[in-house]
Amino acid sequence: PPSTHRNASTSLRCPPPCIRLLQSSVKGKWCGKTVQDVLRSEFKDLSDNEYTSQLMTKGLIQLNGVPVRCEAVGLDGDRTGVSASTVLKNMDVVSRVVDWHEPPVMVSESISVEKMEMPANVIDEYNLR
């Protein structure tokens, strides 16, 4: 309902942040490239190596549900992640965990609905009767 998460003083609805998993199946042009190369070239917000390394250190970037680790973290045989230099194959899924924040929304107290006339040919063409 519109009153949920509303700031009484400003009438702004402020949805709480939520965790989302953004996933992308490997495209044909990504096959044969490393995870790090694809992240750098295809996703503008992940083109910064330092930022991407921080995300990998925290386990927020995954390949097939397994965290991707940069070489700086090291894999030391612990098998808790895959290397950022892993070559992508068809049917792999690259995912990223994000903390999603939606902007505040102004919700009107009264919502008015207006009826408008439509030409008969539009009504017939789209079967709106």
* pLDDT tens digit sequence for 66-116: 999 886 444 455 556 788 889 999 999 999 999 888 887 776 666 666 777
Q: At what angle do helices 35-42 and 49-57 cross, to 10 degrees?
A: 130
What backbone torsions phi and psi does residue 124 show, to the nearest 5 degrees?
Answer: -70, -40
Could you tell me the pTM of the whole model? Answer: 0.64
Q: CA nearest 92: which of 82, 102, 101, 78?
A: 82
